[in-house]
Amino acid sequence: MVRAFDFEENGRTFTCQVEEPRGSRTEAWWWFGVSGDQNRYAPFHALPGDTQESVRTRIAAYYAELLYRRAQPAQPRQHWARRNKDTTAAPAAAPDASAPST
């Protein structure tokens, strides 16, 4: 298994390490942090055949895709309570004027 390592890509420093299973997790995961980004990410399970190069390639591609998605304009979504009401529903029946009133 590859030990923790750092690499630079596009002016950023990536710090990568495997965290062993704990709690309810049953598999080890690759975690990484990036200079200038306060988050940590765990996008991949650690595999027996991992090498620094294979992990580096996967992490760099994952982070590039993440930055691309973040740069996209927000897609407007309807709030569940504001969905279009069904306009084909039958209108409420009017009271029958010929029925005797009580």
pLDDT at 50: 94
Dihedral, CA of residue 21, residue 26, residue 28 and residue 29, to nearest 10: -110
pLDDT at 80: 72
Residue 19 CB contacts under 8 Å (≥ 6 apart), including other chains: 28, 29, 31, 42
pLDDT at 26: 83
Q: What is the DSSP letter of 92?
A: P
Q: What is the pLDDT along the chain (102 residues), one digit of tens a residue?
A: 688 999 999 999 999 999 988 888 789 999 999 999 999 999 999 999 999 999 999 999 999 999 999 999 988 877 776 666 665 555 555 555 555 555
Walk across the sheet containing 12-19 and list its strands.
5-9, 12-19, 29-34, 37-45
* Residue 72 token pair: 């996209």
pLDDT at 9: 94
